[in-house]
C-alpha cells in the first residue's frame, strides 16, 4: 500500500502524522511510505531520519495526497487538500467531522473517501484507545496554562493556584470526568488547587473520587453547573460525546455570573466547545475576554509538546494503522469493531457521525 504523510498545514500544528519509528514498522511490512519534506520538523524529526527507515521524501503536499492509498494526518485536512486525495482512498486523522463544514463532508462523500477518525477508535473495554493518551497530555497541560492565565499580567485575577498560608487556593471546576477531566484534576490537585469535578455519570464520579480523594464530585445537573461556575476561579470544559458535537453546558448567563476575570479553558473546543461564549483560538493568540472572563480555546493543545505527542501517537495508533495497511479497510471494518466505530465516511455514506447545528 502507498502511505502518505504530509506536512501539517494548519497553523501551530507541530505534530507529525507518523514518527520515523512508526514509518519503520510500515516499511518492514513492505509498504511504500511517502513523507513530505520537513513533515516531521516541528516534532524534531529530520527527513534523513525518515529516509533511514525506508521512506521516500516528496517535495509537495499535492504529490503526497495524490499518491496515497492511505493518508496519515493529525489535524483535519483543508478543503484544498481533500480535493488532492484520490477517489476511494483512506484518510486517518483527528478529524472531528461533527464540527466541520458541510462542504468538506460533501467532498469526502463525493470522492468516496474512507474517513478514519482516530478520536473514535474504541477498544474492547469501550475506551478511546488513540484519543486517550492525547487527552492525558491535554489534561496535564491545563494546570500550567491556568496558572499563567490567572496572573494579572495575563489578564487574570492575580491569584496562585495553590494559595499560600492564610490565603486559600484557587477554586477549579472541571466539567467532565473522562480522560481529560481526570488528568486535569490530578494536575490541579498536584498544583495545590481546590478541585470540583462534575459529570452526568455516577461511575465516572466514583472513579474520580477513588483516584483523587479530596476532590469534590457533583452530578452535572443544570443547577449544580450554575452553582459551581459561580464560585470557580478556573473553569475547565472537558466534555466529549464521541462522534457528536459537544453539548453546550455553560450558557452565556452562567459565564456572566462568574467572578470577574475568572479563567475558562474549553478543552472541548475541537468538538465545538461546551461553553456558549467559546470560539476557537490559536497558540499565538490563545485568549480573549468575553463577559469579563478570560477564555482559552485552543483546539490542539498537545501540539506544543509535539515530540512527546508524536511518540505517544505511535504507541497507541500503529497497531490499527498497520492492520489497515496490511489487510485493507474493508476487511478491518468487518473484522475489528474498534476500527469500525471510527469510520465516519465510507463508500459515499456517512456513518458513526452525528452533526448538530451551532
Q: Is the pLDDT of residue 358 over 60?
A: no
CB contact at 8 A, 210 and 221: no
Q: pLDDT > 70: what percent of the chain? A: 99
Residue 356 scores a pLDDT above 60: no
Side-chain half-sphere CA neighbours of 156 within 13 A: 22
Whether the Cβ atoms of residue 195 and residue 181 lie closer than 8 Å to each other? no
Q: Quick one: pLDDT band at residue 125, thresholds 50, 70, 90?
A: confident
In Å, what is the CA distance from 338 to each residue of 78, 89, 314?
26, 20, 17
Which of 2, 24, 215 has its CA nearest to residue 90?
A: 2
Residue 357 has pLDDT above 50, yes or no: no
Q: Average pLDDT for residues 334-355, to the nearest whole number?
A: 92
pLDDT for 294 beyond 90: yes
Rounded to an integer, the average pLDDT of 161-184 is: 95
CB proximity list for 54: less than 8 A, separation 6 or greater: 23, 24, 27, 28, 33
**Above 60 in pLDDT, residue 176?**
yes
Least confident of 16-20, 243-247, 344-348: 243-247
Residues acting as catalytic residues = 96, 270
Which helix (H) or strand (E) segment is 211 a member of?
A: helix 202-211
Give the pLDDT score at 160: 95
Domains of the chain and CATH, by start: 2-121+309-350 (3.40.50.720), 131-299 (3.40.50.720)
- Quick one: pLDDT at residue 242? 73
The whole-number average pLDDT for the span 45-68 is 97
Confidence of residue 355 (pLDDT cuts 50, 70, 90): low
309, 302 contact by CB (below 8 A): yes
Residue 325's pLDDT is 98
Is the CB of residue 149 less than 8 Å from the CB of residue 263? Answer: yes
Averaged pLDDT of the chain: 94
Residue 116 has pLDDT above 70, yes or no: yes
69, HSE (Cβ side, Cα atoms, 13 Å): 12
For residue range 242-270, list pLDDT tens digits in order. 778 889 999 999 999 999 999 999 999 98
Integer CA distances (angstroms), 356 to 31, 98, 241, 244, in order: 38, 7, 12, 7
Amino acid at each position: 500500500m502507498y502511505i502518505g504523510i504530509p506536512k501539517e498545514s494548519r497553523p501551530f500544528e507541530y505534530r507529525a502524522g507518523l514518527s520515523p519509528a512508526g514509518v519503520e514498522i510500515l516499511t518492514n511490512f513492505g509498504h511504500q511510505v511517502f513523507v513530505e519534506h520537513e513533515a516531521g520538523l516541528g516534532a524534531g524529526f529530520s527527513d534523513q531520519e525518515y529516509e533511514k527507515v525506508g521512506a521516500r521524501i516528496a517535495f509537495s503536499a499535492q504529490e503526497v495526497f495524490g499518491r496515497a492509498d492511505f493518508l496519515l494526518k493529525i489535524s483535519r485536512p483543508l478543503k484544498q487538500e481533500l480535493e488532492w486525495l484520490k477517489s476511494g482512498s483512506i484518510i486517518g486523522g483527528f478529524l472531528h467531522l461533527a464540527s466541520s463544514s458541510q462542504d468538506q463532508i460533501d467532498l469526502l462523500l463525493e470522492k468516496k473517501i474512507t474517513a478514519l477518525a482516530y478520536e473514535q477508535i474504541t477498544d474492547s473495554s469501550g475506551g478511546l484507545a488513540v484519543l486517550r493518551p492525547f487527552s492525558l497530555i491535554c489534561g496535564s497541560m491545563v494546570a500550567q496554562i491556568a496558572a499563567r492565565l490567572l496572573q494579572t499580567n495575563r489578564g487574570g485575577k492575580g491569584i496562585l493556584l495553590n494559595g499560600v498560608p492564610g490565603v486559600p487556593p484557587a477554586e477549579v471546576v472541571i466539567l467532565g470526568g473522562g480522560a481529560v477531566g481526570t488528568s486535569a484534576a490530578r494536575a490541579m490537585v498536584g498544583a495545590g488547587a481546590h478541585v470540583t469535578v462534575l459529570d452526568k455519570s455516577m461511575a465516572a464520579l466514583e472513579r474520580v473520587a477513588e483516584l483523587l480523594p479530596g476532590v469534590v464530585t457533583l452530578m452535572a445537573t443544570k443547577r449544580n453547573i450554575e452553582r459551581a461556575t459561580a464560585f470557580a476561579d478556573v473553569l475547565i470544559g472537558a466534555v466529549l460525546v464521541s462522534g457528536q458535537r459537544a453539548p453546550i453546558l455553560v450558557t452565556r448567563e452562567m459565564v456572566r455570573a462568574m467572578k470577574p476575570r475568572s479563567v475558562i479553558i474549553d478543552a472541548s473546543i475541537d468538538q465545538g466547545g461546551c461553553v456558549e461564549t467559546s470560539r476557537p483560538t490559536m497558540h499565538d493568540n490563545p485568549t480573549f475576554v468575553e463577559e469579563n472572563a478570560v477564555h482559552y480555546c485552543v483546539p490542539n493543545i498537545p501540539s506544543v509538546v509535539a515530540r512527546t505527542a508524536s511518540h505517544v501517537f505511535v504507541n497507541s495508533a500503529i497497531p490499527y494503522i498497520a492492520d489497515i495497511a496490511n489487510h485493507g479497510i474493508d476487511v478491518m471494518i468487518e473484522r475489528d469493531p474498534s476500527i469500525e466505530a471510527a469510520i465516519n465516511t465510507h463508500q459515499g455514506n456517512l456513518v458513526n457521525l452525528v452533526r448538530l447545528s451551532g
